[in-house]
Amino acid sequence: MTEYIGIAVTFVLAGGIAAAMVILSSMLGKKNPTAIKLAPFECGKDPFSLPMGRLAVKFYMSAILFILFDVELVFLYPWAVEFRDLGLLGLAEMGVFLAIVLVGFVYAWDNGALEWK
Amino acid sequence: MNRATTADLALLVPELILVGMALALILAARRIQRTPLALIGTILAALAAALASTCVVPSDDATGFGGMITVDHYSRFFKVLIAAALALAALLSVRSLDEEWAPRAEYHALLLLASTGMMLAVSSLDLLTLYLGVELMTLCSIVLVGIRVDRPASNEAAIKYFLIASFASALLLFGISLTYGVTGTTNFAAIATSLRDLGSNPLLLVAMGLVAAGLAFKIAAVPFHAWAPDAYQGATAPVAAFLAAGSKAAGLAALGRVCLVAFGSEARTLTWILTGLAALSIIVGSIIALAQTDMKRLLAYSSITHAGYALLGLIAGTSEGASATMTYACFYVFMTLGAFGVVIALGERGEKLDGFQGLAAQRPGTAALMLLFLLSLTGVPPTAGFVAKFGVILNAVRADQVPLAVLAVICSVVSAFVYLRIAVLMYMKEPQEPAPSRFPVTVTAALAVTALVTLVGGISPNSLTPWAVPP
């Protein structure tokens, strides 16, 4: 079981640091509560609302397209690091990969996902 | 470092054909709205993939991609079966795509990609490639179930399927990680070697249970079956047929390889797990099917029962048993596609059990075909269903599981009532609805192929034996 000690230490350290931050800031920090400060953090949205509201789906469309390029980049980075060793075959493989990813993008473009209606 | 070479890629020619056609369809999606171009492309790709998996790829058993992918008799058998299921499902889809709104090119591309995942799953020699294949199949199936975006039932079914499938994937991954923890590898052969040296380990029991549970979700074996009736009912009938045939065959193939190759040395533990799954599936599936009035739900419970029967071949961990399961999977694919085909051919009317009233008086040919598929699903000679069922029950007896074999036979009688109830409605009731319109020629073609296989398989029971070679 010795190989698991490292994991246990990580857990303890992570929990300790998080707890220390919360405790220290509540002990040392100034307290000047206002209604806005006490509200749960949410990026520019009302934190509590009934689920009947309508949301513009175009934001999600852009987010999904972003993931497409995000994934592409995740694979491009290690490939760029090993570019010299992988050689011509690596370049060809990356070309195929990029082409397949681009098919998805072309499909989205073709079907109007980029039009901000 | 292992690098993919052309020799490696040659092993994946069938998959590459399917992916290539799918990408072409996606690129041309806006231009394919009305034409049967997508259908023709899909069927050509399926034929080419079937041909490639038997002829082009190396004739001997070969492995590639660092021992992750193999081409052997087992994977070839299932690849041809999956290609057949793909082509038949595409033929059966024509009518529902004509009558209802659905994006045509995308629909066929998803069928092709789901089949690619199935083929990858049946030819993988590594738990991670297996997971990848199974996941590709499941993700595409979820979208196919929800492809009728304008229909709430379809959306609901897709969301249910998605939630349960992600749960199943988590179980499978957890099982894979525990297996890796015990053996230090995800490669089937290496797992087997490591298990022979290690001996028994309590963690291994959990790992095997989780892997089996994750794959049992895919074949809809009880108690992991709850998604199937809802997903089949919400999906259009051709999608339900494809799910019942293709994903079941691929799941069984994956489970068979994992049980026989990777966990072969733990046969006794596996026998317990698989016996439980098989017995529960057979009992629950055949009893709940009695209460169904919706044809897609009825066939869903029928598919659950058949998953249980197919598992009977794997319980002993012998190669004869695995061969029986392969035969079962093959004949089941054709008879279930046939039964779904009649449901699809009848349109709205075929979706309800009552719609079959008096069909024999109006369309004697269709009624006779349905009777053939029903007899085969029951397991009555001289149909393929009898040969398949005989093989797996014989295997259960050989494995000294006589109580299980007796249970299987008793539940066959119960399911005979389920299937023959439809036959009674067709032949002994007065028609309630106007005669169905003429079927599209593609549906007729698919029905003819499935009926032919169901009959030939029953008349010459050994016709599959040369190909049903276990891993």
pLDDT at residue number A42: 67
Residue window 82-101, chain A: list those with CB within 8 Å of chain B.
Answer: 89, 93, 100
Cβ-count burial B443-452 (b if 16+ within 10 Å, e if not): bbbbbebbbe
Helix, strand or coil, per DSSP, at residue B71: strand
Task: Report yes or no: B203 at the A interface, CB cutoff 8 Å.
Answer: no
Is B155:B146 a contact under the CB 8 Å cutoff?
Answer: yes
Is B387:B458 a contact under the CB 8 Å cutoff?
Answer: yes
Which tokens belong to A12?
């303890």
pLDDT at residue number A45: 65
Could B30 and A110 be called an inter-chain contact, meaning their C-beta atoms sit closer than 8 Å?
yes
pLDDT at residue number B247: 93
pLDDT at residue number B158: 95
C-alpha to C-alpha distance for B92 and B412, rounded to whole angstroms? 28
Task: Report yes or no: B3 at the A interface, CB cutoff 8 Å.
Answer: yes
Q: What is the pLDDT of residues B425-446, one digit of tens each?
A: 999 988 888 888 888 889 999 9
Is A97:A75 a contact under the CB 8 Å cutoff?
Answer: yes
Show residues of chain A in contact with B4, CB under 8 Å: 89, 93
Could B29 and A89 be called an inter-chain contact, meaning their C-beta atoms sit closer than 8 Å?
no
| CA-wise closest residue to B169 among B141, B205, B198, B200 | B141
Q: Given B3, B4, B29, which is nearest A107 (Cβ)? A: B29
CATH number of A2-110: 1.20.58
Show residues of chain B in contact with A111, CB under 8 Å: 29-30
Is B130:B124 a contact under the CB 8 Å cutoff?
Answer: yes
- Hey, CA dihedral for B50, B370, B407, B225, is it positive or negative? positive
C-alpha to C-alpha distance for B86 and B11, rounded to whole angstroms? 20
**Count of CB pairs separated by less than 8 Å, A with B:** 16
Task: Report yes or no: B23 at the A interface, CB cutoff 8 Å.
Answer: yes
B295-311 helix and B384-398 helix, angle to the nearest 10 degrees:
40
- The answer to whether residue B374 sits within a structural domain is yes
A107, A110, A115: which to substitute to probe chain B, counting the most B Cβ within 10 Å? Answer: A107
pLDDT at residue number A4: 84
Which residue is associated with the tokens 């041809």? B80
Could B29 and A111 be called an inter-chain contact, meaning their C-beta atoms sit closer than 8 Å?
yes
CA angle B222, B159, B95 (to 5 degrees): 90
Nearest residue in chain B measured CA to CA from A86: B3
Could A107 and B27 be called an inter-chain contact, meaning their C-beta atoms sit closer than 8 Å?
yes
B23, B106, B139: which to substitute to probe chain A, counting the most A Cβ within 10 Å? Answer: B23
- The answer to whether residue B1 sits within a structural domain is no
- Neighbouring CB atoms inside 10 A of B368's CB total 14
Show residues of chain B in contact with A106, CB under 8 Å: 27
Distance from CA of B222 to the nearest CA of A (A): 35
| CA-wise closest residue to B111 among B90, B94, B96, B130 | B90
Show residues of chain A in contact with B30, CB under 8 Å: 110-111
Could B4 and A93 be called an inter-chain contact, meaning their C-beta atoms sit closer than 8 Å?
yes
Which residue is associated with the tokens 């169904």? B292
Spell out the residues 6+ positions from residue B258 whose beta carbon is closer than 8 angstroms to its own.
B127, B130, B188, B211, B212, B215
Q: Given A93, A100, A111, which is nearest B30 (Cβ)? A: A111
Q: Given B3, B4, B27, which is nearest A103 (Cβ)? A: B27
Nearest residue in chain B measured CA to CA from A87: B3
pLDDT at residue number A11: 94
Q: Given A89, A93, A106, which is nearest B27 (Cβ)? A: A106
Spell out the residues 6+ positions from residue B10 whose beta carbon is closer than 8 angstroms to its own.
B56, B57, B58, B64
Q: Given B4, B23, B30, which is nearest A103 (Cβ)? A: B23
- Neighbouring CB atoms inside 10 A of B175's CB total 23
Show residues of chain A in contact with B3, CB under 8 Å: 89
- Please determine, for the modelled complex, whether the ipTM score is greater than 0.85: no
Task: Report yes or no: B153 at the A interface, CB cutoff 8 Å.
Answer: no
| Res. A113 pLDDT band, cuts 50 70 90 | confident
Give the residue numbers spanning the domain of B301.
6-464
pLDDT at residue number B1: 42
Which tokens belong to B401?
């599981």
Show residues of chain A in contact with B27, CB under 8 Å: 103, 106-107
Q: What is the pLDDT of residues A10-63, one digit of tens each?
A: 999 999 999 999 999 989 988 888 887 777 776 666 667 777 777 777 778 888
Spell out the residues 6+ positions from residue B47 whose beta carbon is closer than 8 angstroms to its own.
B83, B87
Distance from CA of B21 to the nearest CA of A (A): 12
Task: Report yes or no: B29 at the A interface, CB cutoff 8 Å.
Answer: yes
Could A107 and B4 be called an inter-chain contact, meaning their C-beta atoms sit closer than 8 Å?
no
Q: Given A89, A100, A110, which is nearest B23 (Cβ)? A: A100
Helix, strand or coil, per DSSP, at residue B438: coil
Show residues of chain A in contact with B29, CB under 8 Å: 107, 110-111
Q: How many domains does chain B have?
A: 1
Is B111:B90 a contact under the CB 8 Å cutoff?
Answer: yes
3-state helix, strand, coil split of chain B in percent (to 5) is 80, 0, 20
Show residues of chain A in contact with B33, CB under 8 Å: none
| CA-wise closest residue to B256 among B223, B218, B284 | B218
Distance from CA of B173 to the nearest CA of A (A): 20
Which tokens belong to B451?
């009926």
pLDDT at residue number A18: 95
Show residues of chain B in contact with A89, CB under 8 Å: 3-4
Which residues of chain B fall below pLDDT 50? Answer: 1
C-alpha to C-alpha distance for B1 and B235, rounded to whole angstroms? 45
Residue B126, strand partner residues? B187
